Copies of this chain bind each other. A is one copy, B any other.
Amino acid sequence: MSASRQTASGRQLHHPDRDEIQLEAVLSALADPVRLRIVRALAQGHDDMACIAFDLPVSKSTSTHHFRVLREAGVIRQHYEGTSRLSRLREEDLEARMPGLLTAVLNAEGA
């Protein structure tokens, strides 16, 4: 009700703090084809995309699952915007903790 409401559903999305981001969790998160696809799409300028806009080859629930894995690993940040949930890469945080990792993954061959 107040001005700074979290938009939508009081449900709070858990995001790890920058210094809580774990390498293994990030690697696991990036090791899945669907999630890698999401990350690539976000990196290609499509910042702040709604989940639905990715046109993923999986069902809605599976999609939700993958976004959660990415969020809980600290790879993306999500926030509500009306009925949608927008995602963006946590580029700065990742760069601070694991310099060069995201860039290397995005530029890699063999994907």
| Chain A interface residues toward B at CB < 8 A | 19-24, 26-28, 30-33, 36, 97-101, 103-105, 107-111
- Minimum CB–CB distance from A15 to chain B (whole Å) comes to 15
Complex Cα distance A15/B30, Å? 23
A3 to chain B, nearest CB (A): 35
The distance in angstroms between the C-alpha atoms of A20 and B21, with both chains bound, is 30
B23 touches A110 (CB 8 A): yes
- Whether A98 touches B109, Cβ cut-off 8 Å, given contacts A28-B31, A31-B27, A33-B24, is yes
- A83, chain B: closest CB distance, angstroms: 33
Contacts of A22 in B (CB 8 A): 110-111
Residues of B within 8 A of A33 (CB): 24
Among B21, B108, B110, contact of A110 (Cβ-Cβ < 8 Å): B21
Residue of B nearest to A111 (CB): B23
On whether the beta carbons of A99 and B110 are closer than 8 Å, the reply is no
